[in-house]
Amino acid sequence: MHSGGEMEQETRWGRFRRSEAAQGYLMVGTPALYAILLLGAPLATIILYSFLTDGYLEIIRDFTFANYREAWTNELYRSVMLRSLWVAAAVTAVTVLLAFPVAYFVSFHVAPDRKSLWLFLITIPFWTSYLIRVFLWKVILGFNGVVNSGLMGLGIIDEPLTFILYNVNAVVITLAHAYAPFAILPIFVALEKIDRSLLEAGQDLGESKVMTFWRVTLPLAMPGVIASVLIVFIPTIGDYVTPALVGGPEGRMVANLIQLQYLKLDNYPLGSAIAVSAMSIVTVVSLIFLFLNRRFLRGPK
Amino acid sequence: MTVAAKPTMIEFRDVHKYYGDYHALRGITATIRAGEFFSLLGPSGCGKTTLLRTIAGFEEISSGAVMIDGRNMEGVPANKRPTNMVFQSYAIFPHLTVAENVGFGLRRARLPKEELTRRVGEALEMVGLRGLGARAAHALSGGQRQRVALARALILKPKVLLLDEPLSALDKKMREQMQVELIKLQRQVGITFILVTHDQEEALVMSDRIAVMFEGEIAQLADPETLYRRPTSRKVADFIGTMNFLSARILREDAQGIEVEAQGLGRMLLDASQAPGAASGTGTTAGFRPETATILFEGQKAEREAMGTIDEVVYFGDMTYYDVRLDGTEAPIRISMRNVFGRPVLDIGARARIAWSPGAVVLFR
């Protein structure tokens, strides 16, 4: 009887544990299901499509690599892909280079009780939607826009500048502005974590302020810089709205190309192959940066 | 070479420092000699770290002058000063290895690689970290980090090594061990060491001379023994060790000395050197250290005796601290007794005969 009671307790304990685990699964299950349905399933569909053959009005279920061959060898697709990479790299470089001084200023030269106010001010561009901000740049950079009418009013130029809108430059300017806060915050956090006595130590050991920055501040801020690079690079390479609105014909990027294949040309398999190719490239670039970050993170406190 | 014969390494000339309205350093005038182990001792907020940082070049002074080896340091940035510092947090660069940390300051010397490796190795050896050069800085213990900080500073052969509470983060055992190692190291390299500490025992153990600071001023600057035996003010006496204070009255002062009547002890004749401090205007007090008086056994006799009642007994193993209320006084005094073989620990409430000596008394007025 006694051992039976113990066994009963045992199973009840086991059941309790199982039910707790079940609760955990239940809690994870809902978002997991959501993620699978809305992320995994479409992704799987696109990957599947990319290996199928395009018929005229339907998709023929023939397995093929032809779409990938087309995506990687066709001059047009390749040039758009390269341009996307180049634009994303340029946007990332411009954004991070401009974000670093801002983050540095807020971290090192703003009084501690004012820092949150400054960060709040930095988020002001987010108060309007992304689309409206892109349109605003159209107004600023346009033929009769703020820049041109301003410069003409001042008599600096005689006719409107045309190289500032509907091309790659406009895409870079607009995207760099849109992603600036995303780049500032990780760098700011990395700079905040730097023990200020390390900078004094750098100077104490004979280095000037500039050299201390190069040898101490910058290496210690690198995890933040790399996080910024990833945060800016990944979304900009696939950006659709900005090139569509301010890029003009020569500013088209890969997302516009995919849209073209899907909605205008109705070529799902080729569109999917381009999309998967773009994702692979982003994955490779991200992995390279993650590896770099691991190197810089080798000495966490 | 005696300490007095050594040349001056650092000179403060009426140094003032303001942070806004706050007067952090109030006219510091002092000299630190070459090769000396000098300590700045005081409670937190007394300005000792600020004073150290004016030497390093991290704080600009508001007025006065800081001279290092005869050169006025005004306008000389930290990286151009012949000083190196061991920071309280050690400030070990987390992204570098131990060897890279130690060799950090040698970049500007542009040494060949073998020479650099050799000197880093020597520095590590000197602080007892041989073979740890390749280790990542974050994989070090507190004591090891401190040694890296020491090696990193000493490898540059500075004229002055500044130590900002370097031992405060270590546990007691480690701290005592490092105290001895630092003294040995200082003797070995012969560099002027300036230590900031709030630990009076640490300062007494390690220093050739100590400046005791309160509220931005140097209250007394002397060697450890003078500081302990002849403090110039009650504040210094209280900060360094324990001192008993009895209110007193000066009866006569002439060439023979000072005749004093202290409460509970009676009349005594003191030498003029036993009143080292200037008049403070807060009344006259006679003070003596707990170990300079003794509770007498039955049958023991002493030249000077006083009677009292034991108020409190604190047993420390090797020592017992007795709080004794002398007859005719209000506040108890403390007497420390070594627990030598055969001596019983007395009980609270017991009567005690106290032997004391006028030579141990310091007069504050």
Residue A102 in any domain: the answer is yes
Q: Is B95 on the interface with A (CB under 8 A)?
A: yes
Please judge whether B56 and A204 are an interchain contact, meaning their C-beta atoms are less than 8 angstroms apart.
Answer: yes
The share of chain B scoring above pLDDT 90, in percent, equals 74
For residue A55, being part of any structural domain is answered with no
The DSSP output letter for B358 is: G
CA distance A141 to chain B (A): 44
Kindly report the backbone phi and psi dihedral angles of residue B266, in degrees, each rounded to the nearest multiple of 5, phi listed first: 90, -160
End-to-end CA distance of chain A: 57
Whether residue A58 is contained in a domain is answered as no
Residue B275 contacts by C-beta under 8 Å, 6 or more apart in sequence?
B258, B362, B363, B364, B365
Measured between its terminal Cα atoms, the distance across chain B in Å is 37
Residues A43 and A98 in one domain: no
Single-letter residue type at A91? V
CA–CA separation, B271 vs B229, rounded Å? 14
Measured in angstroms, the CA of B197 and the nearest CA of chain A are apart by 18
Residues A142 and A11 in one domain: no
Q: Which domains does chain B have, with CATH numbers?
A: 3-229 (3.40.50.300), 242-364 (2.40.50.140)
Asked if B79 is an interface residue toward chain A (Cβ–Cβ < 8 A), one would say yes
The verdict on residue A61 lying in a domain is: no
User: Complex ipTM, two decimals?
Assistant: 0.84
Nearest Cα to Cα of residue A215 among A226, A203, A227, A229: A203
Q: Token pair 């509220």 is at which residue?
A: B215
Q: In the prediction, which pLDDT does A296 show?
A: 67
HEC sequence for chain A: CHHHHHHHHHHHHHHHHHHHHHHHHHHHHHHHHHHHHHHHHHHHHHHHHHCCEECCCCEECCCCCHHHHHHHHCHHHHHHHHHHHHHHHHHHHHHHHHHHHHHHHHHHHCCHHHHHHHHHHHCHHHHCCHHHHHHHHHHHHCCCCHHHHHHHHCCCCCCCCCCCCCCHHHHHHHHHHHHHHHHHHHHHHHHHCCCHHHHHHHHHCCCCHHHHHHHHHHHHHHHHHHHHHHHHHHHHHCCCHHHHHHHCHHHCCHHHHHHHHHHHCCCHHHHHHHHHHHHHHHHHHHHHHHHHHHHHCCCCC
**B110 touches A: beta carbon within 8 Å:** no
Whether residues A104 and A188 fall in one domain: yes
Residues A106 and A234 in one domain: yes
Q: Same domain, yes or no, for A248 and A188?
A: yes
Nearest Cα neighbor of B137 from A299, A198, A214 is A299
Burial of B262 from C-beta contacts in 10 A (0-12 / 13-18 / 19+)? buried
**Residue A57 in domain:** no
Contact B137 A300 (CB under 8 A): no
DSSP letter at B215 equals T
pTM > 0.90: no
Q: Is residue A105 part of a domain?
A: yes
| The pair of three-digit structure tokens given for residue A221, joined into one six-digit string | 């801020």
Domain that holds residue A9: 2-50
- Chain B residues with CB-CB distance to A198 below 8 A: 91, 93-94
* A158, pLDDT greater than 90: no
Give me the mean pLDDT over the B295-314 stretch.
89
Nearest CB among A197, A208, A220 relative to B89 is that of A197
| Range in A268-277, A284-293, B188-197, B216-225 with the lowest mean pLDDT | A284-293
Helix B113-126 and helix B142-154: axis angle, to 10°? 130
What integer pLDDT is reported at residue A1 of this predicted model?
A: 43
Q: Please tell me whether residue B308 adopts helix, strand or coil conformation.
A: strand
Sign of the Cα pseudo-torsion (A73, A77, A81, A82, in order): positive
Interface of chain A toward chain B, CB-CB under 8 angstroms: 195, 197-198, 200-208, 215-216, 219-220, 296, 298-301
From edge to edge, which strands make up the β-sheet containing B8-19? B22-33, B8-19, B63-68, B71-72
Measure in Å the smallest separation between the Cα of A205 and chain B Cα atoms: 5
State pLDDT tens for residues B94-111. Answer: 999 999 999 999 998 889
The residue of A205, A212, A226, A292 whose CB has the most chain B CBs within 10 angstroms, and thus the best one to mutate to test that interface, is A205
A-contacting residues in B 58-77 (Cβ below 8 Å): 58, 77
* Residue A19 in tokens: 């039910």
Contacts of B237 (CB under 8 A, 6+ apart): B231, B243, B245, B287, B362, B364
Q: Report the residue from B56, B89, B95 with minimal CB separation from A299.
A: B95
Across the range A22-37, mean pLDDT stands at 86
Q: Which residues contact A271 (CB under 8 A, 6 or more apart)?
A: A49, A258, A260, A261, A262, A265
Q: How many domains does chain A have?
A: 2
Three-state DSSP at B225 gives: helix
According to DSSP, the β-strands at B37-41 and B209-214 are: parallel
B267, B259 contact by CB (below 8 A): yes
Q: Which of A290-299, B117-126, B185-194, B210-219 has the lowest mean pLDDT?
A: A290-299
Which residues of chain B make contact with A298, given a CB cutoff of 8 A?
95, 136
Does the pLDDT value for residue A301 go beyond 60? no
In eight-state DSSP terms, residue B98 is H
* Token reading at A152: 């003409």
**Quick one: average pLDDT of B146-164?**
95
A111 and A39 within one domain? no
B153: helix, strand or coil: helix
Q: Are A107 and A188 in contact, with CB atoms under 8 Å apart?
A: yes
Q: Cα B214–B216–B222 angle (5° rounding)?
A: 55
Structure confidence at residue B29 (pLDDT)? 95
Q: What is the pLDDT of residue B94?
A: 92
Contact of B200 with B240, CB cutoff 8 Å = yes
Average pLDDT, integer, range A241-253: 87
- B360's CB contacts (< 8 A; 6+ apart) are B288, B289, B292, B293
Mutating which of B95, B111, B135, B152 best tests the A interface, going by the most A Cβ atoms within 10 A?
B95
Q: What is the Cα–Cα distance from A162 to A278, expressed in whole angstroms?
A: 30
The amino acid at A242: T
Q: How far is B93 from chain A (nearest CA, A)?
A: 7
CA B73 to chain centre: 26
Give yes or no: residues A28 and A150 share one domain.
Answer: no
Domain assignment of residue A60, yes or no: no
CB B68 within 8 A of CB B34: no
CB A184 within 8 A of CB A126: no
- Do A251 and A126 have their domain in common? yes
Judge if A129 and A272 occupy the same domain. Answer: yes
CATH of the domain at A207: 1.10.3720.10
Non-local CB neighbours of B311 within 8 Å, separated by 6+ positions: B322, B323, B324, B325, B332, B348
Count of positions (residues) in chain A: 301
Q: Chain B residue closest to A216 (CA)?
A: B93
Q: Is residue A68 part of a domain?
A: no
What is residue B1's predicted lDDT score, i.e. its pLDDT?
A: 44
Same domain flag for A182 and A231 = yes
> Phi then psi for B247, rounded to 5 degrees?
-70, 145
Which residues in chain B are closer than 8 Å to A205, comparing Cβ atoms?
79, 84, 104-105, 152-153, 156
Token pair of A145 as six digits: 């826009």
| A68-111 per-position pLDDT tens digit | 988 898 888 999 999 999 999 999 999 999 999 999 999 999 99
Q: How far is B164 from chain A (nearest CA, A)?
A: 12
A22 lies in the same domain as A144:
no
Domain shared by A267 and A166, yes or no = yes
CA gap B224, B204 in Å, rounded: 5
